[in-house]
Each structure stands twice: as C-alpha cells, then as structure tokens.
Chain A
Amino acid sequence: MAITGEAKRDTGEAYLDIVWKQFKKNRFALGALWALVPVALIALLAPLLASDQPLIYFDGDQILFPWLLALFNPTERVDFAFNMAMLAFAPWMILAWWLNGRWRRRHVPGRTRALRITGLLVLLVVGTILLFSIPAVRPSNPHSHRAFVEEEFRDPDAWGIYTLIPYGPRDQERGSAYQPPLYRKDASDRQRSSEWFPHLLGTDDIGRDVLARMIYGTRISLTIGFLAVGIYLSIGIIVGALAGYFGGLTDMVISRIIEVILLFPSFFLILTLVAMLGPSIYIIMVVIGLTGWPGIARLIRGEVLKQRGNDYVAAARALGGSHLRVLFRHILPNALAPALVAAPFGVASAIVVEAGLSLLGFGVRLPTPTWGILLRLGSGNYNYWWLIVVPSVAIFFTVTVFNLIGSGLRDAMDPRLRM
C-alpha cells in the first residue's frame, strides 16, 4: 500500500485523493462512516423526531405553529445552533443538488465541487445562526409555557399534529416515573393527548421519555466531542509546530510544559477542573480542550522536526519565505497526518469523558439531556436497567464508530502507523 501511495503521489494526484482511495478499501471504516450519517441526522433532525410541541395546532379558533416557534427559542444554546442548522439544511440540499449539476456540466473537478458545497453548508448554517441570534429577527414564542398536549386532551374542539415521538426531552410526567420500555399509560389514567404513544425506551426518574432524551443527548455528545477536539487540535498543532520548528529555548519550554501536563492523569485533571469551575457543557468542552493539547503538540513537534531538515524547507526559505510562512504553508501540511488521525479517537474519548463526568455528577446540570446523566440516574438503582443499557449502547456505538473511522484513517494516511 505504501508503494502505491508513493507512486501515485509522483503522478501528481492529490494526497487527499489517495487517502480517500485507501480509506474506501477498508470495509469496516467505510461502514463506520456510513453509520455516522444516521447519528448525525438524529442530532440534526432531533425536533422532527421528538417534540412535545405540535407541528400544527388548532385550538378551536385559530391555527398555531408551536413547533416552529419553539425551534427558535430552545432552552439550550446547543439546541439553537442545531435547530438553525436543521432549518438551513433543506435549502442547502436543493442548492447543492442544483449547483453540483451546474458545475459538473462545466467540468469543475469533483474535489473542488465537494469543497465548495461543504463551504456553502458552513456558510448557510453560520448565516442562519447569526441571523436568528438577533433578537429583533428571531420570532418570539408566545406559547412557551402552554401545555398543548393537556389542552388538546381536555378540549374536544382542539386538535394537533405531532412529530413522530410526541415527547420532548424536558417534558416530565411524574405519574409515570421509572417505567420500563414500551410502557404506555392506561387509557383511564391519561391526562394528555400524547400519552397514547408508548415510551419506547421507558422513562426516567420524573417520567421524561428516555428515547427523546437520548435523541437530544446525541446533539450534546457530538457537540462536546467535536468542539473539544477542535479546541485541542488547534492549540496542539500551533504549539507543537512552533516547538518543532524553532527548537532551542522555545522547544525546551514547550516540551517541559507538555511533560508537566502529561504527568497528570487526564481524566483526574479534567474532573478536578470541572469540579472547580462548575457544571456546564461549555466548561467541559473547554477543559477537555485545554487538557488534551499536549499529546497532539508532541506528535506535531516530532513530525515538524522530521520535516525541518528536508530540502524543500531550505528551498522555501531561499525563495524568501518568512519563518511563519514556511512553517504553516510548507511544513505543516506535510506534518498534519498524525494529528488528523488522532482526531476521531479524540472525539470518541471526549464523548466518554463527558459521560463519565456526568455519571459522577460533575457533568451538566440535570434538565439538560445527555447520555451520561441517564447513566447516573441508572447507577442509583440497578432495577431500572434500561437507564443503563440504553445510554451504554449508544455510547458504545458512537465510540466504536469513531474509533473505526480513526483506525481507517490511520491505515489510509500512513501505513507505518498501523497497529
């Protein structure tokens, strides 16, 4: 594989193309990449899957759209970002399909097309988020404290059309606490119109639907995973590159710092910091980000050290490139592979760390739906097995997917790194 890679590089084929080609050969990794699609879709389309707000509601006089208004006014900022991404998603699909056809007819190469279309997605999502962050533009939700499911149940004139699962992640019903999967309230006990629908994965300590919480928890797990890794990759790459390139005193100081931080067991350090700073998913992200960079920095430093002696570096310097230009434009692209390979593993471990923190009670505040919080509820009493099994399976599945992608990437990028 190494030989074919080298040969192709000589013919001028882009490195990313080779990586993709190698990656595709690994059936497990490719499968994992496909398995990521439903996970991402669940996170993105969570409100379409589960919500206690009716899509359309008729209260006898007028027709309301509570679900849409609720989209703009969620309790959690993460939910807001995902909701906006969901709104931007459909226009992007149409635009992407149209532009792709247009560009293909103009013989724009596939990689450029993919890059442009991804860029368009980022642009659209960020644009939507920014646009609706302005209070004047964002539609307010006059029904934020209205319980449609109860209203509809009591009022024979009212009707509503609900999402697939008519339960929200924070929607509690103390009467049906700790009920096993497939539990459905007796018709005589019902208080709300949504209760005809069974709790497919049971309920938690105050009767919230576990499935709905799992669906919304996906958003938080993925956010923590990606953002935390994003933070520590950026720090690690920059710091490691500086240490490797400049050497001398810079290298010595940075290496000592790396050494010191690596001396702390990472989970213990994160636990301590989170306990001191308070429970919040943002703090967890930042803390994981701030404690994870030394590993990446060490990898990058080693790679940059290796690259620094090559002729192309001397050539770039001779052509008048400044140190920073040579470092970030010439050396770094050649030294990134190990850091990128570490990224999917990092996402997996960040998700695990968040679950562990929540399990210990240091994670997020309770109404926030995360997988770890469900585990914590389950750890209190092992009779409620679904509270353990369901999040465990989800964590295991996600971690496996990211690990598979990571190992596929590792094999594809650098066969020497293969384990």
Chain B
Amino acid sequence: MWIYVFRRLVVMIPTLFGVTVVAFCIMQMAPGDPLEAQLDASGTIGETSMTREAYLIMRRDLKLDRPLLLNFRRFHDYTDSIRQAVFFRGQSTDQIQQQLAELAAASDLPENAARLSFLRSLSIANFDQMLDDPQSHRRLSTMITIGVQLYLEDLGIHGVRAAAAVLRDPQTSDQKRIGAIRAMRLMVVEPFQTSFRRDADPANEPHVMKTWQLWWQRAEPDFPQLNDTRRERLAERFQAMLDLESRSEILDMLERFDRSDMRFFVERLLSDSPLEEKVLAAAALNLYVPNPLRLDVPIDATDEMIQQAAENWLAHYELNRELYEPTLDRKLGYLFLDTQYAHMVWRLITFQFGRSATRTREPVGPRIWSAVLVSAPLMIMAQLIIYLVAVPLGILCAVNRSNSIDRSVSLALFVLYSIPPFVAGMMFLLFFCYGIFFNWFPSLGLHSAGSEDMGWGAWLLDYLWHAFLPVVCLSLFSLAAMAMYSRSSMLEVIGQDYVRTARAKGLSETSVILKHGLRNALIPIITLFAGFLPGMLGGSVLIEVIFGIPGMGRLSFDSILSRDFPTLMALIYINAIVVMVSILLTDLLYVVADPRISFHGRGQR
C-alpha cells in the first residue's frame, strides 16, 4: 500500500507543475500594464495612484520586472540606454519640453539621434507625429517622463551597474547625477535594511551595519557625548530589554528612550557585540530615526543633497557588488532561475506566498488561514448534512422502488438538483431574512455584534443560527446529486444475487438492506467525496458573497476583484493540493471499503 501511495505522490509532482503553468498563464493574461493604458488615455498619472501602487507592489513581489522564462539581461550591457534614461530622469517635464524642441530642430546630430532612438524604444504611441507638432510637446514630455519611469522599473536591478558607473564618473554633470540617483531609486526596491527582520538573520548583519554606519558618519556631530551616569543607566535598561521575552514589552521599553540616546545604540551596533544586542540596537535606531539615509533627490536638489545620496548609492553598490557584477557561473544560474516563472514556482514550492497586493499588504499565508478557519466548519457541516441525509434518502427510495414514496422523493430531489445554490440563497434571504416575509434568520455574517462576550453555549447557538442558511445552500445541490446517486447504486445492489441469498437465509429486511446492501452500495458513494470538494470550493464563492461570510470563497472573489495575484496564486495552488490529496484519500478509502479491489496495478491508471 505504501508503495502505491508513494507512486501516486510522485505522479502528483508533474500535475502540480502543470498547475503552476496554468496559474502562470492566468497571470500573464491579466491586462498588461495599467499605467500604460492610462498613458494612452490621458498622458498623465491621475488620482488612480492607488492602483499604481498596488500594481508596483505586485510587480516587485512577483518579480514581474524579470523576463518570463529565460533571463538574458545579465549578459546585456545597458550603458547606452541607461545614459539616456538618466539624462531624461534628471529633468522636469518643462525641461524635457525644451529638449524636445531642440531634438525636433536638429535630429541628425549624432547625440540627438541616440536620444531619439532611445525615446522611440519607449514605444510611446504616435511619437514621431507628436515630435513634429510643437503643440503636443507638453503632452509628449509627460509621456516621456512616465515612459522612462516604466523603462527603469522594468529594467530593475539589471541597470544598476550602468547607473552606478554614471554616478561614479567625476565628469558627470549635476543634472545627470540627479538623474542617476532618481533612476537607482526606481530600479532598486529596498537598497538598505534599517533593522533585522523578525528572525535575526546573520546574513542581514553587514547590510544593517552599513546603513547605520553611513548615517552615523554624517549625523555624529548632532549627537552630544553621553556622560557616564547616563551611559550606565542606558546599559542597564538595555540589558533588561535583552532579558524580556515578549515583543510588545520590548516595544514599550523602546519607546521610553530619547532621540539623544542614539549614540549609545550606534556604539552597541557598530561594536563587536553579539547578534541579539545588534538586533535590539537596530530596532531602537529604526524607531527613533526614520529614513536615516537620503536615497532620493528632487529635480532641483542642492549639491549637498546630491553628494549625500550619491555616496549612499555607491555604498549600496559596493555592498552588493556580487549581485550587480556577477561571475559567469552566477550569470548562467540567473539565466534560468531569475525569471518570473522560476520565482513563482519557488514561492509556491516553499509555501512562502509573500505579501498580498492589497492596500494593507497583509501576508498571504495568515490571510488564507483565517479564511480557512471560517470556511472549513461550514464545509464540514455541509458534508455531514449531505451524507447523513442523502444516503438514507437514497436507500428509502431504493427500498420503495417505484411506489409513491420513491416517486415523490425523487421528484423533490430533482427539483433540488435544479435549483442553483445561489438562487436558493437569494430566495432564502428574501423570504427568511429581510423581514419582508419572515424575519427568522440574520442576513449577513456569521456572528452577531457582541458575540465575543457571550458564553460558549450562547456563542455556539448564535453561530449555528447564522450558519444555518449558508450551510443549507452549500449542501442542497450536492445533497440531491448524492441522494440520486445512492438510490441508483442501492438499486443495483438490491438486484444482486447475494442480496437474494441473504433474504433466502431468512435475515430480516433491515439487516439485508443495512448489512449486505449498504456496505456494497457505499463504495461508489465514497468516490463522490472527492468530486464534491472542488465543486463546493468554487460554488462557495457565490454563497459566501451573498451571505457576507469572510471565508475562502469571499477571499478568492476579493483577490480577483483587486487583482491580488499573490493571494490568487496561493489559493489556486493550495486548492489544487487539497483536491489532489482528497482524490488520493478517496482512492485509498475505496480499497479499504471494497476488498475486491487491490492496489496492484492501480498506480498506472
């Protein structure tokens, strides 16, 4: 048996692989770039910046700035186009507008030709017509600004090397430096880490230390020396915090420091103290010094701002040099593994679904888990109802074959079978909930307001009262199908010879039906278990939306609505696994229930 299970699990791997491919295709099918669509329509970024933010989050989290299947970008040299992008990135739209006039006037100069060919590569609609028409230069300059932004975001870290070269070059003009800094800002998502992640990872140590070191270089004069008594007291409190366990208590303590105490924390962080002390020190610094490093500059930045930002970016570059100047073997690795598809598969395999693309950016895992906790009890109740009602009904019909009981029950089942669950749900809501006809059940949610304060008995009753209609709706369709199925399977069994034999032995009718008949009739019914599960997951979307239940269906609906791909992918993937496992389980149950079926040869099916 274990060999069989193992073989089935191995077969699951290519299937799951197929699931990732389908999920990937769905992701690709999503309308390309919401911004590009806007660009064509109005040429400006309007109030819809929220969708843009969500989009960028999704893009970066899902590594959408990478190519689909093969990443050749590490082998490319982006120096020329980055030079052009930096040139335009460092100018306001008004300045670009002037540039356009010059470009249009003297397009055959070699310098201008390079510029034009770069602008054309941004694939702005009707670029040449707009260039010829001075009236539309204003619009065109906005579009170029956005186009360059998109280009840089799309290029991602691949352009950093060229931009750093621009920044490092002493000949570079201030304007281009500004451009390079602003370009870097777009290409790199999180250049510096200001604190350790939740689990203190030694790999983060150099990054965090570098951040604060850079900050301290400039900020040190602002912080007076600490006198010895103060230093001692701080050390005491620091030690006390290290001994604390709960995060909230640590946070409380942290809030009781003063900004002038930062010198102490910097010393702790930058000395050879153990890792946990560094974690704490970084947390404190992070709390009191928001945005320690200047990474972005406005178009009209002062020399000092440019100087600071440039130094910071070059420091970042040095720190991550092996990322930006990879060796050949790393380049080859990136070729296959640093692609959208590879990243997606990796996230799914490791169950690290990342953060959702909603405004709150909640992690996907806990979000799904809380939805499962809502949906699972409903599903289980529905399945229980289905089996507890449908099988007896089916037997009842089969035993009373073709008389009035069978006829009327079968007809009722057929009617139930034909009512779509959401139609039933809306009818229930209409007749029983909104007080127009009856006001027996609540219309929305699973708990009354204030249900947290109830005793567990009252809470349970309240829950059941709320859950009753949704569960009924969830089970109606499957119940009818299952009852009809068990009727026919029972009918088949009743006609068999061994049932006649059992009767001939003089067994009571109940015993014949329940012992000899039911056991055999159950076998095909077991198989239906797997078939209903995906149907219920899908069908629950409508039910949960109608009844306002924050479960799996509602979550998938919301993530479709808000194009929350991380959540969507995770849902699809988890669902596929659940269904596959349940199919495997039913096959196993099948063998357990029916000794005539053995495991031999079933793996090849």
Contact = CB atoms under 8 A, between A and B. Distances in A.
B423 interface: yes
A281 to B, nearest CB: 18
A269 B568 CA distance: 11
Interface in A244-269: 256-257, 259-269
Interface string B562-586: 0000001000100110011000000
A276 B422 contact: no
A266 B418 CA distance: 18
Contact of A263 (B31, B487, B488, B579): B579
A389 B430 contact: yes
Contacts of A355: 420, 422-423
Contacts of A385: 430, 436
A403 B15 contact: no
A356 B422 contact: yes
Contact of A419 (B422, B485, B546, B568): B485
A419 B484 contact: yes
SS of A interface (majority): helix
Contacts of B30: 276
Interface in B527-551: 534-535, 537-539, 541-542, 545-546
Nearest to B434: A382
Interface in A13-45: none
A304 to B, nearest CB: 16
B418 A388 contact: no
Contacts of A352: 420
Interface residues of B, number: 49
Contact of B426 (A265, A271, A388): A388
A100 interface: no
Interface string B429-473: 110011010000001000000000000000000000000000000
B317 interface: no
Nearest to B542: A356
A399 interface: yes
Nearest to B546: A379
A46 interface: no
Nearest to A385: B430
B572 A395 contact: no
Contacts of B18: 256-257, 259-260
A385 B568 CA distance: 34
B434 A276 contact: no
Most chain B Cβ neighbours within 10 Å, of A256, A272, A389: A272
Contacts of B579: 263
Contacts of B427: 388-389, 392
A16 B403 CA distance: 31
Contacts of B484: 419
Contact of B423 (A260, A277, A395, A419): A395
A283 to B, nearest CB: 11
Contacts of B557: 271, 360
B414 A403 contact: yes
A396 interface: yes
B417 interface: yes
Interface centre among A267, A355, A378 (most CB of B within 10 A): A267
Contacts of B534: 262-266
Interface in A359-393: 359-360, 375, 378-379, 382-383, 385, 388-389, 392
B556 interface: yes
A260 B14 CA distance: 9
Interface string B398-430: 000000000000000011011110110011011
B289 interface: no
A418 interface: yes
B29 interface: yes
A348 interface: yes
A382 B425 CA distance: 12
A227 interface: no
A389 B534 CA distance: 29
Contacts of A263: 15, 19, 534, 575-576, 579-580
B22 interface: yes
Nearest to B575: A265
A224 to B, nearest CB: 14
A400 interface: yes
B415 A400 contact: yes
**Residue in A256, A261, A276 with the greatest tally of chain B CB atoms within 10 Å:** A276
Nearest to A399: B418
A260 B418 contact: no
A238 interface: no
A356 B19 contact: no
Interface in A269-283: 269, 271-273, 275-277
B9 interface: no
Contact of B26 (A260, A276, A399, A418): A276
B41 interface: no
B560 A382 contact: no
Given A352-B420, A399-B420, A277 B29 contact: yes
Contacts of A335: none
Given A360-B557, A400-B415, A256 B537 contact: no
Given A260-B19, A261-B22, A263-B576, A418 B488 contact: yes
A348 B430 CA distance: 24
A267 B539 contact: yes
B10 interface: no
Contacts of A404: 414
Contact of A272 (B26, B429, B535): B26
Contacts of A262: 534
Interface in A338-352: 348, 352
B426 A273 contact: no
B491 to A, nearest CB: 9
B561 interface: yes
A276 B12 CA distance: 28
A388 B428 CA distance: 11
B542 A264 contact: no
Contacts of B415: 400
A407 B411 CA distance: 12
Interface string A394-412: 0110011001100100000
A396 B436 CA distance: 22
B422 A396 contact: no
Contacts of A267: 538-539, 541-542
Contact of A395 (B420, B433, B488, B538): B420
Contacts of A265: 534-535, 537-539, 575
Nearest to A274: B560
A346 to B, nearest CB: 14
A264 B352 CA distance: 21
A273 B26 contact: yes
A276 B31 contact: yes
Contact of A264 (B419, B422, B575): B575
Contacts of B15: 256, 259-260, 263
A399 B556 CA distance: 27
A201 to B, nearest CB: 16
B430 A271 contact: no
Nearest to A382: B434
B434 A273 contact: no
The 10 closest A-B pairs by CB, nearest first: A265-B538, A260-B18, A267-B538, A400-B418, A382-B434, A268-B538, A265-B534, A352-B420, A263-B576, A419-B488
Interface of A: 256-257, 259-269, 271-273, 275-277, 348, 352, 355-356, 359-360, 375, 378-379, 382-383, 385, 388-389, 392, 395-396, 399-400, 403-404, 407, 418-419
11 contacts: A257-B18, A265-B534, A268-B537, A269-B538, A277-B29, A360-B542, A379-B546, A382-B436, A382-B443, A392-B423, A418-B488
Given A264-B576, A267-B542, A359-B542, 5 more contacts: A264-B19, A265-B535, A269-B538, A392-B427, A395-B423
Interface of B: 14-15, 18-19, 21-22, 26, 29-31, 414-415, 417-420, 422-423, 426-427, 429-430, 433-434, 436, 443, 484-485, 487-488, 534-535, 537-539, 541-542, 545-546, 556-557, 560-561, 568, 572, 575-576, 579-580
